[in-house]
Structure 1
Amino acid sequence: MRDEVDSAGQRRAHRRRLLFIPGYDPRSPAAYHRLWTEEAPKQAAVSGAVIEVGRKRADGDHALGWTVQTVMNGRAAETRVTLLRWDDLVRAWWLRGERRVLAAVPRWVAAMARAGVYGLTRREARALWLCLMTPPVILGGLVALMALLALAAGLVTPWAALPVVAAAPFVIVWLWKRIDAAVSCGWVSQCFSYMARIAANPPPEQAARCDLFAERLIAAVDEGWADEVVLTGFSLGGNQAVRVLARALEIRPDLGRGPTAVSLLTLGQGLCIQAALGDETFRAALRAVEAEGSVGWVDATSASDPASACTIHALHGVVAQPDPNRPVRRAPRFHRLLTDEHFRAIRRDPLAFHFQYLKAVDLPGGYDWFALAAGPDFLVERSRA
């Protein structure tokens, strides 16, 4: 790792290139820049740090960039953030309308069941198991409700059941939308459906985008400006980050062995779930990343996050004996970092809980997204401290 000194021998700000891949999200990446600008002042007020987020700008093909200047504990850092975009692909794959989402539920549930995901999560990741159970239970309950209403109407006269049967699809969709507004069952269904679909039939456009991102990663290292380059994958963006890093290592086997440190940061990941679905190209990518010790790897995934693998090791089922120190694992304890009222609120909404990784906390100590992403310490060193 290079010394953080200038040409005059004076200590200078830590320089970082952060390449960030969002999750399975059809929204514009401007939403993530807005999240940085809204949450940075809140975190600064809690930690006593200085966090200044610059304006967003286009940063080449399928990328958005901005800078972050921080001072933490008297030490400065400059981070150049590049958000690597795949939201256009997500929009192309996004299931349009509740009927398609509902029709996909039996397919992804069957895929998860065949892969043993329900049994694994019931034993080792109860929050994810409950999340996996929620959409099929809701859908099954709505179908059963309409069947009972049709049966009850049929007891009066057989013809009375016909209007109930005819209205059932519309009523189910209407009720599903109301429930979705409260518990985000549609969003989790979209994500699980995507995971099952790409495991069975990996889309070539995804591989092409990962190749492009791998070139961006290599270019950031070769640029020579940064002390470290951190490839960050949030949620299902973690799956993409693994693919990107594996491809970059294939192109440049000596990645991370030069003066610029290279690290992978995964947040709220479900890597072992994607691997369990039988995606062999993804399993190979995971093994390649695991084997390259010159590239650091830190994983921050909460044991209570219902949209993640919780405490299941990222390499579970991929390698025979996962190294307990690779990745370096840090489980954010949000119940200790948020007020009781705030924590109860996100516990009721899986989507809100999942995005907490990218937000400010209410109380100091422990997990700090802005210190990880834009602080003055090397990622791996901070995570091992």
Structure 2
Amino acid sequence: MAAPEHTVKRRRVFYIPGYDPIHPRRYRELYRTESATQAEVSGYEIALSARQGGARYGWDVDATIEGAQVAAQVEVLVWSDIVRDSMDTSILGTYAQLVRTAWVYIGSGALWRLMRLRKGPVIAALYPVAMLLAQLLVACLAAALTLWAGKALLLPLFGTAGHLAAFAAGIGAFIALMRWFKAKDAKFFAYYLMHDYAYGAATQGANTPQMEARLSDFANAIAEALQADVDEVLVVGHSSGAHLGVSVLADLIRDGRVAAGGPALAFLSLGQVVPMVSFLENAHRLRADLAYLSTSDALTWVDVTAPGDGCAFALCDPVAVSGVAPEGQRWPLVFSAAFTQSLTPARWQALRWRFFRLHFQYMCAFDAPKDYDYFQITGGPVTLADRYRNRPASKSRITAAVNKFTGVAP
């Protein structure tokens, strides 16, 4: 098979993060460190520098790969402020979210249908429920123990006053322990994941007005890049950012903002969790966008997941499993990053139980790379379309339409 031609000298990259409240500099640092590691393993040169100007946070990449020099501008399409607002919830409010979210997924039957696709991401979704309930139980037991000990010590000495003091101590122990659990959520991830799943469940899959406005901003940024003197405009959507990317690009193409003869337009979805939203009753907008984008000849869409990523719906065709695959579906090309083959056995053993770290492996270095290399895709001389033009889809991809809700209009 002939090697793809080097057709890219300049590229614009737009990265849409998942549900993440952290400043986007974390993605710059991840790119900086991991690209250097991958370059050393694969034998090419790549360097990152601070972005000079621009309205959005990003960085510049200069690479020499396969003897070709490429300049890329990477920008993060930020919605972390929306995430932070959605996470600004009290302890009591979070437990109310738990009840509502469980009702949405269980009551609608979505949970059981999602389990027919992949059990890993469903277990990940159940984890915050189990952890929050466990924390509540521990706090209740601590309160009961404090009350019992307080009554044993204080009641003989102070009578009724001792009883009240013991009761107050029990309540205090409960509150203190619940606050401690929340303060330590950087270790437990229970509140964070609960807010994540509750965000989509709150509207049963519909976008909030604030998110619709942000998607419009994203579309404007990409449309501007499509008018620039570049060879490829690449949109990367990771985790929850994948389904946001679907809607942004569907809007752009529907509105006629992708002109023929312009830069190649490409979409790379990584570690997608699309079914967590598309399987909800009010996700009409997302399902319509999935169906529309899947037949478009205005872009190339490649979807990369891996069975080793327990937080993603690995090898699930997001269009087909959502029950909206139209006749003539072209996209996405679904294949695996094959963590168990692209990482050496020692590296895989070191990472296999670090579930959240593995969910970001798509943007990290592989020490035994196959045909997936994030840094060659974003900084190399070949378009996404040419790179995977002859790449077959993974034979084990899942295309069964198991979604109960397939409507594309409210």
TM-score in terms of structure 2 length: 0.80
2:264 maps to what in 1?
Answer: 261
Q: Sequence identity of aligned pairs in percent?
A: 26
Correspondence list, 1:89-238, <5 A? 89-96=82-89, 100-147=93-140, 163-164=169-170, 167-175=173-181, 178=184, 180-199=185-204, 202-223=207-228, 225-238=229-242
Deviations 1:3-37 (A, max 9, x none): x99xxxxx775332212212222222222112221
Match of residue 305, structure 1, among 309, 316, 319: 309
Please give the root-mean-square deviation of Cα atoms over the aligned residues, in Å.
Answer: 3.0
How big is each residue's C-alpha offset from its partner over 1:99-119, in whole Å with a ceiling of 9 and x where there is no partner?
544442222222222343321
In structure 2, distance between residues paired with 1:154 and 1:73: 70
Residue pair 1:115, 1:276 contacting (<8 A) in 2 also: no
Q: Which runs of 5+ in 2 are unaligned?
A: 153-162, 392-410
Q: Is the 8 A contact 2:147 2:169 kept in 1?
A: no
Superposed CA deviations along residues 148-195 of structure 1, whole A, max 9, x for unmatched, are 6667788997967775455334324434655x4445333322211212
1:76 is matched with which residue?
69
Q: Does 1:246 align with 2:260?
A: no
Q: Can you give the 5+ residue segments of structure 1 that lack an aligned partner in the other structure?
A: 6-10
Q: How far apart in 2 are the matches of 1:150 and 1:89?
A: 36
Amino acid at match of 2:18: G
What amino acid is aligned across from residue 39 of structure 1 in structure 2? E
| Post-superposition offset of 1:345 | 4.4
Give the aligned partner of residue 364 of structure 1. 369
Aligned mates of 2:49, 2:146 — CA distance in 1: 62
2:378 to 362, 369, 373: 373
- Greater CA radius of gyration, 1 or 2? 2
Following TM superposition, by how much is the alpha carbon of 1:211 offset from its aligned partner in structure 2, in angstroms? 1.3
1:153–1:68 Cα change, 3 Å: closer
Which residue of structure 2 aligns with residue 353 of structure 1?
358
Alignment map for 1:330-341 (pairs within 5 Å): 330-341=335-346
Contact 1:182 1:349 in 2 (8 A): no
The residue correspondences of 1:274-289 to structure 2 (distance < 5 A) are 274-277=277-280, 278-289=282-293
CA–CA distance in 2 between the matches of 1:102 and 1:196? 14
Q: Distance in 1 between matches of 2:124 and 2:138?
A: 21
Secondary structure of 1:52 counterpart = strand
1:331 and 1:126 mapped to 2: Cα distance?
17
